[in-house]
């Protein structure tokens, strides 16, 4: 698994949280495409934590969008999807209203 090797390499050699978050998100996307949705969820969660620690709002927004879509379409977890969309709205400054 190339993404896992890249994550390990970057984690050992650098503290660039943006790069590591992006690698986790890319791995999550690949896992989701392969039907490994629980593994994808775990990788997205790791990526989200790293993006937040890095203060990378763009990557955070992408991850929240991907998580919400996965919760809706693959995992049948509408409440989790709603939470992701609420966090996304707050991130974008839209507030925490309905939606």
Give the model confidence (pLDDT) of 11-63 as tens digits.
667 678 999 999 999 999 999 999 999 999 999 999 999 999 999 999 999 99
Asked whether residue 96 is assigned to any structural domain, the reply reads no
Q: How far apart are CA 55 and CA 63, in angstroms?
A: 13
pTM: 0.81
Q: Is 16 helix (H, G, I), strand (E, B) or coil?
A: coil
The pLDDT score that the predictor gives to residue 99 is 43
Q: What is the CATH number of the domain that holds 18?
A: 1.25.40.10
Is 6 a residue whose pLDDT tops 90? no
98 is a domain residue:
no
- 98, pLDDT greater than 70: no
Assigned domain for 97 exists: no
């Amino acid at each position: 698994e190339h993404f896992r090797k890249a994550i390990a390499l970057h984690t050992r050699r650098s503290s660039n949280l943006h790069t590591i978050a992006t690698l986790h998100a890319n791995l999550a996307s690949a896992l989701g495409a392969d039907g490994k949705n629980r593994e994808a969820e775990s990788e997205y969660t790791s990526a989200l934590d790293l993006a937040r620690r890095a203060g990378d709002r763009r990557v955070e927004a992408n991850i929240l969008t991907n998580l919400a879509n996965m919760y809706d379409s693959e995992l049948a977890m509408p409440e989790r999807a709603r939470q992701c969309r609420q966090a996304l709205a707050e991130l974008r400054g839209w507030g925490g209203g309905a939606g």
